Structure 1
Amino acid sequence: MERTQPRAVRNREAPLQVTLALATLLASLGTSIANIALPTLADAFSAPFSQVQAVVVVYLVTLTISAVIAGRLGDRYGLKPMLVTGLSVFTVASLLCAVAPNLPLLIGARAIQGGGAAFLMTLALALMRQTASEARVGRAMGLLGTVSALGTALGPALGGLLIPVMGWRSIFWVQVPLALLALVLTLTTLPADTGKKMAPSIGLWSSVNWTLASNLLTNIVVAAVMMTTLVIGPFFLGISLGLTPTQVGFVMAVGPVISIFSGVPSGRLVDAWGSGRMLLVSLGLLAIGALLLAFLPTAIGVTGYVLSLIALTPGYQLFQSANNTAALRDVTNDWRGMVSGLLGLSRNIGLITGASLMGAVFTFGVGSDPLEHATASEIASGMQLTFLLAGGMMLVAFGMTFGHHNFTKRLRSPS
């Protein structure tokens, strides 16, 4: 009986997890697939790059703004009904993007699509935690990390195949049947909510104390460091190492590929060893990876860059599984949507911070503006300064988490 029960649990959870993984995949695919179409859109609408860039930016902005709102609505009216609503909005918005006759309407449709994507990402996370058995929460979180990385990596590749053959509208048409499939699966596989939920009487912070604040702050710092690699990597690889754009693309793809294959194993480690312990391990790996990026690539070139990513990227996937599990561990069902929204919000704040503030540190380290005119040695100097700072940030996050972890253990241990 003990041997058949886990298999029965897995068989019951599998369709639910596939559905929620598809919802997460759609949201991340919507984030990345439009990037590769920007030159085509500039030509199609005879618009400058600064205007067509809004097609990408407005999606991220509405996704960020709507994350907490989506979570709160899910807590109040039910996670499944609000996920169905989000998928419906995402489907209609994808259709509107595909038929948009001009750039302003395309940007407006993308804003709506980003709002729908916020429901997909936030409520899929909350539902994954709610439906996964306690022994498999880490693996469930790791699966979401895997499909999120897969969507991010798949977007440019899929767009690159579709646009030359079918035009820019095809990148939005392809999302319509995928969204409809996710909608059907959500309606048929997810269990029905018990009904509308009124706002809980107990406050969120009273429910989870300040543990959640630590998870959210660390989430911001880690996301900022990961975005730094995406912003600085192309400059270093292209200017300092002299790689061609195609070669830069292949090297930059190493991180997403590692993420795809390390997500579920990371979740297994969290289930086996606990989220607190794995959170410390992940931050240690992130610190090592960031510090390696400060020295190895300038010393041994592309090999050093790839070796640094081999330490950094699994650390990030392990962090996602451990941090999401820890943040949602002691949260009641009435607040899981809200906390999932806060996790998404903190991650997006970190991404924006990495792109802006860490990018400014890089520019300062290079000492030349515009960056395209900088020498190889100047780019290398900026790279070292930025990732020394990133490594220091990770060490501080490790120290804070270690102290909080020990403090929590003392509180929970019998006196």
Structure 2
Amino acid sequence: MNTDLTSARGAEQTQQSGTRRPSARWALAGLALSVLLSSLGTSIANVALPTLADAFTASFQSVQWVVLAYLLAITTLIVSVGRLGDLMGRRRLLLAGILLFSAASVVCGLAPSLGVLIAARAAQGLGAAVMMVLTMAFVGDTVPKERTGSAMGLLATMSATGTALGPSLGGALISGLDWRAVFLVNVPLGIVALFLAHRHLPAGRPASGAERRRPRFDHLGTLLLALTLGAYALAMTTGRDGFGVLNAGLVAAAALGAGLFVRVERRAASPLVQPAVFRDPGLGASLAASALVSTVMMATLVVGPFHLSRALGLQAAAVGLVLSVGPLVAALAGVPAGRIADRFGAHRMTVAGLAAMAVGALVLAALPRSLGVLGYVCPLVVVTAGYALFQTANTTAAMADVRPDRRGGVSGMLNLSRNLGLITGASVMGAVFAFASGTSDITAAGAGAVATGTRVTFAVAALLIVLALGLVLAVSRRTKLPVTAVSPAPPSRRCCNPR
């Protein structure tokens, strides 16, 4: 009986969206491949940095911009492309994003100089920003509402798979071919994603008369947000030897830009970010929790290599193998996490994921170094599984009742909070680790100092997770939304529902 009801609902939704039911699976496959490509573009380039330094006779600080240009392009444009997708049509913009990503990959692979490579990576990052945002926004148009969590879980799995696959695939390509293959491998995958998206994604609805009469895009807000995010990202990534005057100036510029942006958005006729977003406690808690959790997850990537190599004495190959455990767990847990969120409720599973992460981080902070690799991997698995559950449930809850023409903007905000957390974690948690280790040069620290730094860093990480958990619980009480509820927040509580 329940199966028949689910099928009827799914058929009704696919008829309303203009998509035949058999093509919905292929549409989801195209979205999943787009997510895989965008995450692969982040992780696969890191392993090529030493090779690029030799190939272009450049310093490490110079080739580091091959990674930074990609991240900065994503971070500064991720909200703008979401809003642009809402206005001009998500399908059209997603196709353009996949095409740009694939074309930029060709230019990266054929780049004659480091400058051309960095510029092409920035263009690739723009295409990746489009794919990251619009894939989540498209879920509501391709699957029935009761299966949203499962679809989000699949996208989370593909994102984790791309992150896990990047270093090993990149190393194999460099060893068997050369560094150019690291970028050219994206091209055939991009062509397949472009075909699936073009063939099976539903066309966007035509704009209403009111939408056609209003301004089409918030150019001033877009410029202010891009400058603000660019200043913050540069503040977190410039001057790796310490936080200096330049960093402080960039943070001040980012704070000023954020204030101006909020003021402009409240007065704009067609704002990039709806003013109601700033007043919605539920969405605000989701965004803040996402940023805090991403900060913690970056700590595992910053601390892990040093702890495994210097505190536990592992060789490089073994370090890489152990580090792949986290993304592998996230990849395996993504789809089950989505099904659990569908079954038991996104809000309750958000709390459960945060609780698991807090427990894992506390264990990492408390276990002695004498327990070896097993003492590090076991709690890391708990942290990563909790992250997979949180990420899927939190995204599902935030997108549950968003109006179709606002999904791109909210999806962009969620991705933005995640990226800001990753950038902050790389800087702040790295600084905590170095300070707790008692040295300015972590590569010269002894095994005991590194182990102490690891414990302190994960103690701070546990506090951040507890803070995120407190935010979610406080908002649940304030909005009288029980965390055990299976249904999403009532429409009156959601920022983007029509009144």
Q: What TM-score, normalized by structure 2, do the two folds share?
A: 0.79
* Pair 1:351 & 2:422 matched: yes
Q: Give, in whole Å, the separation in 2 of the partners of 1:106 and 1:323.
A: 36
Instruction: Determine the C-alpha separation between the residues in 2 that align with 1:325 and 1:129.
Output: 10
Per the alignment, do residues 11 and 285 of structure 1 end up closer, same or farther by CA in structure 2, a change over 3 Å counting?
farther
Contact 1:32 1:156 in 2 (8 A): yes
Distance in 2, Cα, partners of 1:236 & 1:59? 27
Aligned mate of 1:376, from 442, 447, 455: 447
8 Å CA contact retained: 1:129, 1:140:
no
Q: Deviations over 1:97-148 (max 9, x none)?
A: 1111111001100000001100001000110133221111111111111000
Match of 2:256 in 1: none
User: Contact conserved, 1:297 with 1:303, CA < 8 A, in 2?
Assistant: no
1:340 equivalent among 398, 407, 411: 411
1:225 aligned residue: 296
Which segments of 5 or more consecutive residues in structure 1 lack a partner in the other structure? Answer: none
Of residues 303, 323, 330, the one that matches 2:394 is 323
Q: Aligned ranges for residues 215-294 of structure 1 at < 5 Å?
A: 215-294=286-365
Q: Give 1:117's aligned residue.
A: 128
Closer, same or farther: CA 13–165 of 1 in aligned 2, 3 Å: same
- Which amino acid is 1:338 matched to? G
Of residues 349, 353, 369 in structure 2, which corresponds to 1:298? 369
The Cα of 1:13 is off from its aligned counterpart by: 2.8
Shift of 1:204: 2.8
SS at match of 1:193: coil
Contact 2:24/2:200, CA 8 A, preserved across alignment:
no
Q: CA shift at 1:74, angstroms?
A: 0.4
1:172 aligns to what? Answer: 183
Shift of 1:289: 1.1
Which residue of structure 1 aligns with residue 41 of structure 2? Answer: 30
Corresponding letter in the other structure for 1:174: V
Question: Which letter does structure 2 place at the counterpart of 1:328?
Answer: M
In structure 2, runs of 5+ residues without a counterpart are: 11-20, 217-268, 483-488, 491-499
Contact 2:79 2:413 in 1 (8 A): yes
Task: Name the structure 1 match of 2:461.
Answer: 390
SS in 1 for 2:428: helix
What are the equivalent positions in structure 2 for 1:29-178 lying under 5 Å apart? 29-178=40-189
User: Is 1:204 equivalent to 2:274 in the alignment?
Assistant: yes
Given that 2:281 and 2:475 are in contact with CA atoms closer than 8 Å, whether structure 1 keeps it comes out as: no
Distance across 2 between alignment mates of 1:248 and 1:209: 43
Identity %: 47
Contact kept in structure 2, 1:297 and 1:305, CA below 8 Å: no
CA drift of 1:410 comes to 5.7
Q: What count of residue pairs does the alignment treat as equivalent? A: 413
What secondary structure is seen at the aligned counterpart in 1 of 2:456?
A: helix
- Cα drift, residue 166 of structure 1: 1.8
Q: Report the AA paired with residue 136 of structure 1.
A: R
2:479 match: secondary structure: helix
Tell me how far apart the structure 2 counterparts of residues 382 and 347 of structure 1 sit (CA, whole Å).
Answer: 25
How far the C-alpha of 1:286 sits from its partner, in A, is: 0.8
Would you say the 8 A contact 2:436–2:453 is kept in 1? yes
Q: Determine if contact 2:48/2:179 at 8 Å carries over to the other structure.
A: yes
Distance 1:254 1:195, change over 3 A: same
The CA distance in 2 between the partners of 1:155 and 1:339, in whole Å, is 28
| CA distance in 1 between partners of 2:380 and 2:139 (Å) | 28
**Inter-CA distance 280–2: structure 2 relative to 1 (3 Å threshold):** closer
Cα distance, 1:194 vs. partner? 2.0
106-115 or 158-167: bigger deviation: 158-167
Root-mean-square deviation (CA, aligned residues, Å) is 2.0
- CA shift, 1:76, in A, is 0.6
Taking structure 1 as the reference length, the TM-score comes to: 0.95
1:275·1:323 contact (CA, 8 Å) conserved in 2? yes
* Structure-2 separation of matches of 1:410 and 1:350: 26
